[in-house]
Amino acid sequence: MCSAHRPALESVTVISNQRLAEHVGRVVFEAPRTAAAIRPGQFVHLRIARGAAFILRRPFSVFRAGAGKLEILYQVVGAGTLALAEAKPGDGMDLIGPLGHGWEFPGGMAHALVVAGGLGIGPMGMLVEKLARLGVASTLAQGARSADQLLARDIFEDTCRHVEVATDDGSAGHTGLVTDLMDDLVAADAPDIVYVCGPEPMQRIAATKAAQAGIPCQVSLERLMACGVGVCLSCVVETTSGLQRACVDGPVFDASEVAWAGAGEAAVRR
């Protein structure tokens, strides 16, 4: 990687911060260095507040980047994201980025299936934009609790060839798990690759389905992260080649290399 792509500390300014749905927001930062350097599937380690009782940074996928700006979709789950939701335009923060190993784009792909559950949509904006630039047709299977939690639908409607949705409560699309959509989509589109992000049990199901269909699958895993840069070993993922660090070796892993049992849900609460 050339040095412009190496992680660095960048002071950033909130440009806008809107509520998108219950407990969900979209924040846009002025962050020229990171916006120029970041690749799809990478993340930033954000210092949300100084002087707060919580001290660690919070990792967030970058949903979209461009024109010096970074866009992040976030769900309010605790003290950090609550403080993020309260940030106002003009507020300063800082982040470390770009971080991690993002999505891989193997040559020769014609069709990609993108599967996102809940905030697993976080790293998918840059992904589908890149796929579009590569001329790969993408189908998005998006799942959420309810219709209003299907975030950024307009962007995906514009960029993907096809979008299908599933909700837990049936308020939009299929009633049930987003992974329920996979069989039909795999049959219909014969994708060359499956990209997955969401709650870990859902990722595991998606990975299994992809494996059964014989399609390569990449998953973006969440782990608790203290440093975000590879030194603390908080974020390890059990893989076929031993323990790997989600923050530098991931967060995107080849699903076939993840040793799902043992790693698994325990690592994050949700």
Ligand X SMILES: Cc1cc2nc3c(=O)[nH]c(=O)nc-3n(C[C@H](O)[C@H](O)[C@H](O)COP(=O)(O)OP(=O)(O)OC[C@H]3O[C@@H](n4cnc5c(N)ncnc54)[C@H](O)[C@@H]3O)c2cc1C
Chain contacts with other proteins (rule: CB under 8 A): 6-9, 47, 53-57, 96, 223-236, 243, 248, 262-263, 266-269
Tokens linked to 107: 């040559």
210 sits near ligand FES (criterion: CB under 6 A): no
80 sits near ligand X (criterion: CB under 6 A): yes
Of 153, 230, 259, 264, the one binding ligand FES by CB under 6 A: 230
What Å distances lie between residue 242 and 1, 60, 238, CA to CA? Answer: 24, 25, 6
Cis peptide before 199 (omega within 30 of 0): no
Of 73, 87, 197, 227, the one binding ligand FES by CB under 6 A: 227
Residues 6+ apart with CB under 8 A from 137: 110, 111, 112, 131, 161, 189
Tokens linked to 252: 């995107």
Please report which helix (H) or strand (E) contains residue 167, including its range: strand 162-167
7 sits near ligand X (criterion: CB under 6 A): no
Instruction: Work out how close the CB of 218 gets to ligand FES at its nearest, in angstroms, rounded to a whole number.
Output: 19
Instruction: Work out how close the CB of 143 gets to other proteins at its nearest, in angstroms, rounded to a whole number.
Output: 22
228 sits near ligand FES (criterion: CB under 6 A): yes
Pick from a copy of itself, ligand FES, ligand X, none: which does 234 bind, CB < 5 to 8 A by kind? ligand FES
Residue 74 or 215 with smaller CB distance to ligand X: 74
Q: Kindly report the backbone phi and psi dihedral angles of residue 186, in degrees, each rounded to the nearest multiple of 5, phi listed first.
A: -65, -45
Instruction: Work out how close the CB of 81 gets to ligand FES at its nearest, in angstroms, rounded to a whole number.
Output: 18
Q: Are 116 and 142 in contact (CB under 8 A)?
A: yes
Of 35, 119, 141, 210, the one binding ligand X by CB under 6 A: 119
The Cα 27–Cα 17 span in angstroms is 4
Residues lying near ligand FES in the complex (CB under 6 A): 225-228, 230-235, 245-247
